[in-house]
Structure 1
């Protein structure tokens, strides 16, 4: 396993267990379920950085490296790559770990773009809190 397949040395934003209800017809975990978990993690990072409501506007470069099995622990990591006036790009990686093993492997990654929005759903500036 290469260094790039290792989980980041920071806490996961989301950690969950893949369940039978999350499978596709082939018996693997449905890619849409995994993408939803990644969107939740990215949304959490976006809302914290923007100090408020945000919406997903794009997902780029979604790559599935290997399948996730029922019972696997899935850990999602999110890193803010850039922040503009109203939007931000967040790199998200998902890793799986068999419940009986210690080794985690990257299963997918993508870049999510979020826009900060106000109570009416309109774009708003992202507060710089430095």
Structure 2
């Protein structure tokens, strides 16, 4: 695991709040996954030039907890484009509010499908 976040700017940056945590102050995994989905969708919808929907998430494991007050940065990298699908690697990094040190807390590959106005699969422009 690298100690340096990706060089590109994050797709999303958010502060973990008390409503997002369990009684011990650790952020719920579902909260983190939802933000990762949004970051991946941001990359996919720009590439698809339109509506996309999440169809799969590959092997997500949590390396470190996120605490209330942590700044969470979510990075998305386009991996591949198929006829109707787009795969995006998403990493979530935390930074304690009193420090400049960042640590990767989780990562996963999200697969999105491009949709038309009626919600049906559509082709993605190959260029």
Equivalent in the alignment of 2:12: 14
Matched residue count: 127
Looking at structure 1, the residues matched to 84 and 77 of structure 2 have their Cα atoms a distance apart, in angstroms, of 17
CA drift of 1:9 comes to: 0.7
Looking at structure 2, the residues matched to 65 and 74 of structure 1 have their Cα atoms a distance apart, in angstroms, of 14
Matched, 1:111 2:109: yes
CA drift of 1:25 comes to: 3.9
Looking at structure 2, the residues matched to 73 and 90 of structure 1 have their Cα atoms a distance apart, in angstroms, of 22
Matched, 1:79 2:77: yes
CA drift of 1:63 comes to: 1.2
Looking at structure 1, the residues matched to 69 and 13 of structure 2 have their Cα atoms a distance apart, in angstroms, of 12
CA drift of 1:121 comes to: 0.7
Matched, 1:53 2:32: no
Equivalent in the alignment of 1:93: 91
Looking at structure 2, the residues matched to 31 and 89 of structure 1 have their Cα atoms a distance apart, in angstroms, of 21
Unaligned runs of 5+ in 2: none
Looking at structure 2, the residues matched to 15 and 122 of structure 1 have their Cα atoms a distance apart, in angstroms, of 31
RMSD of aligned Cα (Å)? 1.0
Q: TM-score, normalised to structure 2's length?
A: 0.96
Q: TM-score, normalised to structure 1's length?
A: 0.94
Q: What SS does the aligned partner of 2:47 have?
A: helix
Q: What SS does the aligned partner of 1:5 have?
A: coil
CA drift of 1:61 comes to: 1.1
